Amino acid sequence: MTDDVHYWSARRVRAAFAAGELTPPAYLDALYDRVDAVGGRVNAVTELLADTARAAAAESAERWRSGDVRPLEGLPVAIKEEHPIAGRSLSLGSVAMPEQFPDRSHPLVERIVAAGGIPHLRTTTPEFCAAVYTHSQRWGVTVSPWNRRYTSGGSSGGSGAALAAGMAPLATGSDIGGSLRIPGAFCGVVGYKPPYGAVPALAPASLDAYCHDGVMARSPQDALLLHRVVAGAHPDDHVSLTVPPTDVPPRDRRRVAVSATLGRNRVAPDVRTAVDAAAETLSGLGYQIVDAGIDWDLAELARIAIGHLGLMMTPMMRAALGDRYADADRYSRYLVEQAEEALAEYGPLGVTTAEASVQADLAALFGEVDALVCPTALVAGLEAGNDYLPGDVTLDGVPVGVRHSVELVATFPFNMASRCPVLAVPSTVTSLGIPGSVQVVAAPYAESMAFAVAEDVHAAARWYEAPELRPTLE
């Protein structure tokens, strides 16, 4: 076993299991050794599940010997703390909400275990998964392994950091406004927001079309391996469905629209470079590249999307906090108050009308192209531990007037158009030393196309295979 086994892809680990070159217990021990060595530098882990994980790894070793293997046999998976595990504490990162002990696991966790995957640790989130960064009174600050002055992103920031630091090959996350993709961007990994309903969830959040549970990995192929396990209709989730594969034409017949700004929006130079690099990669492979022609005001869309959160997410936060509301993290209270203001400003009809407009823009675009490539965030990174409330925000050293930090990312429109599959993938390394990320967006339910384009962008560099394309944890 080599010294860098913790950075092997999930597919390579599985092949090593099959060849008898590596066993699930030995691999699990290597990952726990990695947690011991670097975990304190990024603060991504809330809980180790060592006892149950080691028992599962021993069972997997026997299954590999007998040939009775399942799709994820012996592969450890980091679980976002938000995803309940039966009998384990659930806090949602809050010191103010009473701790819960659910009696059943999230369907995503159940499917991972049934497929032979091994939940081996749980990962940090901001309180109530309510921020584009990951820090809280409960768990402290989670940072990007690529540059520890900067946040891992949120809200699946612990999962992103655990992947980038080599503590897990696969991870779970969720996304109501970018929470799979933003950590993908700031940790240099892949975050996949599936089409709404493709991955079953728990009610009542499952009824909110902005809400998506999904997967993260260090490559699109590994993300697809895990996604195929967790996706598909579930009897307990009435909006869940099985998405059929779609045809993907040869590269020289694929048309991709590109936009570095998505309209009237300021982006950092590093962000534009990342988009340009992805477009150049695809063009070199034979893709036809066209201008997206999208003209969105992302700040306005973010405000409207926050109003949508006032329909379900923030009322759930208020209910969970009860008379401890004042003890919540200040960014949680700020989101609740902003959502209430925005919903009062636009009303449910105004929010829905804006969502319909975004969907119409994308429907017209996908009538002409196979995919859209655009930024994941408008900045190369966000300072770790900064709440980014009004007055805190600068862009390239210049103060900018934003009402909420979600205006610094470009992810919300694709929760408004929630049936579109979207992958965040790295394409360059920025001046901050953090990978520059792009979103690959495909037409509603066209998952096969989204993964095909994302894989082509990602394969231009040997991310995590070459030592120079791994984080230094400095």
Residues known to be catalytic:
80, 155, 179
- Dig out the tokens for 327 from the structure: 């003890």
Task: Say which residue the tokens 């086994």 belong to.
Answer: 5
Cα separation of 177 and 169, whole Å?
24
Q: Among residues 227, 285, 274, which one has the least CA distance to residue 426?
A: 274
Q: Residue 370 in contact with residue 255, Cβ under 8 Å?
A: yes
* Token pair 């190369």: residue: 380
Rounded Cα gap, residues 193 and 456, in angstroms: 18
Q: Is the peptide bond before 200 cis (omega within 30 degrees of 0)?
A: no
Residue with tokens 């920025």: 430
> Nearest 5°: CA angle at 224, between 223 and 228?
120
Q: How far is it, in rounded angstroms, from Cα 160 to Cα 183?
A: 5
- Of 343, 346, 347, the C-alpha closest to 335 is 343
Residue 326 is encoded by which pair of tokens?
């004042």
What the block records as the tokens of 368 is 């002409």
Encoding tokens for residue 81? 């703390």
